[in-house]
Amino acid sequence: MFTSFGKANLTCQLYHSLNVLFDLRQMNAPSLSNVGSLEFLKVFEAACSGMLPKNKIIRTLKRLYTNTTAEIEQKSRQGRDTLDLKREVIALSTALASVADTIPAYDLEKHNTRLMKLLKQITIDAPSTTKKFRFKNKPKSSQSKNDDAVQNVAGEDSKSMNSPECVGKSLRYERGGVYENLQDSSLTFDATLQNDPASDNSSSAIHLRSLKRSVINFKGTPFQHGSFYIENAQDCFIILRLPLQSQIQVRLNGLQNCKIYITRVGLEPQSVVLERCSELRFHSEMRDTTNIQDFSSIGKVFPNEKTWFPYESFDLCDFDTDRLMNDKACR
């Protein structure tokens, strides 16, 4: 990562975005290291020295994503190694999440849709495997974590029957764990109790999938930059209290009849992206602290009471997971 360049005239978020792309080029994705490397270094140096306007940085980021995705698509058509291609798509998706707030909503959705179609095609072309629910109990190597991420995303289009349900469990989130098909269960994270708090430049993603009558209760996150994605949840209580100065894209896809409490410490509003959601209820404290955007209708931002999803002053049970699970007043 570049440390010798200054950050003058460049926002912290864009600086981080460029660093994420550079790190991915060097370590995670072969395609990223081959797309305009010399151009990238020149853009980075010019940006950090204050000689490059913000709009040109954003255009450069968009071009890099487009070119990189096209290169991965070409490799897929050539029959390259499926696992490597999935790793590259995941790496690119993580980088995209880190710059979500710097890219217009329409462009962001276009990039996400293209990546998901590419991942689906790669998964179809790959030998079929049976995906299992796994909960991380022991530390894993970086390679093992990458393999877990690949398997997690690769199973995204599989039927729920391919994964056993986790019923009536109280789980604590751990890095590298795979969390899906939770029923009548809870998943909790408290950053104040963790031994490995997130650093200012940490970047990652959390993906929760197929939840029923469950509680998701996060006080903080194990990273400062990245994405929090919840897909296909029904009758759930979702609480996300995001860290101060964090840049985390929150996406809710296919949620039905859920109570939502999402805030970020500090004065800056938190963006929440909705896709194919219905009968959601947002806590009244979110009214002035979040920007809710429905990607089912690109560019539409819901202000205050005009949202299709009402704000309500429902009981948060002091953010206690057991009470949220058992107290009817909270559910």
The 10s digit of each residue's pLDDT in 225-250 is: 878 999 999 999 999 999 988 888 89
Q: What is the pLDDT of residue 129?
A: 41
pLDDT, residue 122, reads 76
Decide if pLDDT at 187 tops 90.
Answer: yes
pLDDT of 204 higher than 60: yes
Please report the pLDDT score of residue 78 as a whole number: 82
Q: Where are the alpha helices (DSSP H) in 49-177?
A: 54-77, 82-98, 105-125, 142-154
User: What confidence tier does 138 reach under pLDDT thresholds 50, 70, 90?
Assistant: very low
Mean pLDDT, all residues of the chain? 71
pLDDT at 202: 66
Q: How many CB atoms lie within 10 A of CB 153?
A: 21
Distances (CA, A) of 221 to 224, 229, 250: 7, 13, 12
Q: Which of 258, 218, 259 is CA-nearest to residue 242?
A: 218
Residue 184 has pLDDT above 90, yes or no: yes
Mean local confidence (pLDDT), 175-186: 88
Question: In the chain, what are the helix, strand and coil shares in percent, each to the nearest 5?
Answer: 40, 25, 35
CATH number of 165-326: 2.160.20
21-74: pLDDT as tens digits:
554 444 444 444 444 445 555 555 555 555 556 666 667 677 777 777 788 888
Q: What is the pLDDT of residue 186?
A: 96
Taking a C-beta distance cutoff of 8 angstroms, is the pair 183, 212 a contact? yes
Q: What is the DSSP string of 217-285?
A: EEES-S-SEEEEEEEEEES-EEEEEEPTT-EEEEEEEEEES-EEEEEESSSSPEEEEEES-BS-EEEGG
Query: Predicted confidence band at 321 (pLDDT cuts at 50, 70, 90)?
Result: very high
Q: How far is CA 182 from the centre of its chain?
A: 19
Q: What is the DSSP letter of 133?
A: -
Q: Read off the pLDDT band of 194 (50, 70, 90).
A: low
| Pairing state between β 290-294 and 300-302 | antiparallel
Across 125-146, average pLDDT: 46
Length of the chain: 331
Closest CA to 229 of 212, 260, 250, 246: 250
Q: What pTM value is reported for the model?
A: 0.56
What residue spans define the domains of the chain? 12-125, 165-326
Residues 82, 212: Cα–Cα separation, whole Å: 32
